Structure 1
Amino acid sequence: MAQFDTHEGSFGTMGDRSQADMLCELGLMYATGRDCVTDLVAAHKWFNIAAIRGSAEAARLRAELAPSLTKPELVRALREAREWMTMH
């Protein structure tokens, strides 16, 4: 399984962090099970959205995570990301 480093700091405070960084942090939260149940599909979804919004780190983490998912899980993650992007 992929290894993810967690970052210090709170997701709830925006400060100088960009939206893409915040979305990447959400992906890390799901990937590592920090403050939630580990959910690699959700992690991939948030990494994908963050990458689309310009986070190079999220793109790297998404690529690292993808081989850990089955094809149906990957399809679900991509569909959920597309649905989220359509709504937001």
Structure 2
Amino acid sequence: MKMEDYTVEFCPWCCEEVVIHAVGITACPSCGKPLAPCSVCWDAHGGCREPCPYGCAGAEADEQKPVTTPPITQEEIDFVMANY
């Protein structure tokens, strides 16, 4: 495991900070909704890069995005949180 393979994101659906993969769409380990790694994609001004490489629009349709990564394991969560 490498830290650069993960990021911590705020899930807007369950209001939890969770560990997800740094590339691709990951199911939130708390609620299962799809999350993009926004924090590793922000532009130089701290905002969303347009257009979003994951097709996110910040709307309800984002809830239907297909998950493209394997589920995050408890081992991965523990690793990231211990090194965050």
TM (normalized to structure 1)? 0.25
- Which structure has more strand as a fraction of its residues? 2
- Which structure has more helix as a fraction of its residues? 1
Higher RCO (CA 8 Å, separation ≥ 6 residues): 2
